[in-house]
Amino acid sequence: MSGTDNFVLRSTVTSPFGRKVRMAIDVLGLGYRIKLQPADPLDESDTLRQQNPLGKMPCLVLPDGGSIYDSGIIIAAIGSRPADASARPGMSSRPSGP
Ligand SMILES: N[C@@H](CCC(=O)N[C@@H](CS)C(=O)NCC(=O)O)C(=O)O
């Protein structure tokens, strides 16, 4: 995966949990890599339900098609990596070591 791959945050601007994640994205300077795509948890046909089996937002969709959900887990995942995109090639849904 290249360091320029982009991520999608499934959320609405009104979701308080989504807002928490968007604030973290802003603080970490990752806004240029993460595109906000609205989600509707009440819509059975929304792909959110494939991305998060709980059907809740926010949900971070990774470049490899995997996803991370629960705002605290998303923030821990993006916060454990440096903000520099070139230093973030390992961010994946697949664990890479102990
Ligand atoms: N523990 C979750 C809570 C997420 C959550 O409850 N999100 C609400 C929107 S703010 C939701 O998707 N509700 C739809 C539902 O519960 O079906 C997190 O921190 O992300």
Q: What is the CATH number of the domain that holds 23?
A: 3.40.30.10
Query: Rounded CA gap, 58 and 21, in Å?
Result: 8
In a domain, 55, yes or no: yes
pLDDT of residue 96: 42
Q: Where does ligand 1 bind, in terms of residues with CB under 6 Å?
A: 15-17, 41, 55-58, 70-72
- Residue where the block lists tokens 């605290």: 72
Q: According to DSSP H, which parts of 16-82 are helical? A: 16-27, 48-51, 71-79
In a domain, 91, yes or no: no
Nearest-CA residue for atom 12 of ligand 1 = 56
Contact 52/69 with Cβ under 8 angstroms? Answer: yes
In a domain, 86, yes or no: no
Q: Report the residue among 48, 51, 57, 69 best suited for mutation to probe ligand 1: largest number of ligand atoms under 8 A from its CB.
A: 57
In a domain, 92, yes or no: no
pLDDT in tens, 43-85: 999 999 999 999 999 999 999 999 999 999 999 999 986 544 4
Residue-range definition of the domain harbouring residue 20: 11-79
- Cβ neighbours for 6, distance < 8 A, ≥ 6 positions apart: 33, 34, 35, 63
Count how many domains the chain has. Answer: 1
Query: How far is ligand 1, taken at its centre, from the CA of residue 77, in Å?
Result: 18
pLDDT of residue 1: 30
In a domain, 64, yes or no: yes
pTM for this structure? 0.82
Backbone angles phi, psi at 48, to 5 degrees: -55, -35
In a domain, 2, yes or no: no
Query: How far is ligand 1, taken at its centre, from the CA of residue 40, in Å?
Result: 11
